[in-house]
Amino acid sequence: MSRIEQLIGEIEEYIDSCKYQALSNNTKIIVNKEELEELLVELRLRVPDEIKQYQKIISNQDAILSEARFQADNMIQEATAQTNELVNEHEIMQRAYSTANQIVEDAQVQAQGIIDAAVNDANNIRQGAIQYTDDILRNLQNIIAGTMEDAQGRLGAFLSAMQSNYDVVASNRSELTAPAPGPNDQENMMLPEA
């Protein structure tokens, strides 16, 4: 298991261990922002390293193909050398020519098989690296979206509380600036309830 998969597991465990927010119908949780940010920072630092590893694997495709071509060239050279030896001997010239052609043909088929297998392996490695990176980025995207949704909910509750406090302060100020009751208005005044 890679360190990125471990980090994603740790983030999921952390989210599962968080307490639910009061009155949230068990859909919103309270998270420690610093702890979650530490896990996300480490995840961000690890993603480029793993991508570099997969890019290195993909870049090895050229080395695999070069090795396959080198082996194919060697086989063809060996086949050509054998052909030349057989052709030099007059008595077995026809048989040598036929054998040499077969060796060259077999070498070419084998070389093409090696090249095809190397290309196929490299393509599979590349596709696996792309899929793995996409899976990691999808998980990260889901975590960030959940965090943003949670933060947006908290911000809405905070703004609602601030608006309520603002309304109370505005009401208190308007009561302070209201004209003072005159001597005749004292009969109509009511004492505030305790």
Distance CA 141, CA 10 (A): 16
* Side-chain-side CA neighbours of residue 113 (13 Å): 6
At 19 the three-state DSSP class reads strand
What type of residue sits at position 145? A
- Supply the pTM of this predicted model: 0.36
Per-residue pLDDT of the chain (194 residues; tens, 9 = 90+): 677 788 788 888 888 887 877 776 777 878 788 888 888 888 777 777 777 777 777 777 777 778 888 888 898 988 888 877 776 676 667 777 888 888 999 999 999 999 998 998 888 888 888 888 888 888 878 888 888 888 888 888 899 989 999 999 999 998 888 776 666 655 555 555 54
Distance CA 100, CA 87 (A): 9
- pLDDT of amino acid 1: 66
Distance CA 13, CA 42 (A): 16
At 27 the three-state DSSP class reads coil
Tell me if 46 sits within 8 A of 132, measured CB to CB.
no
128: nearest Cα among 64, 66, 51, 68: 51
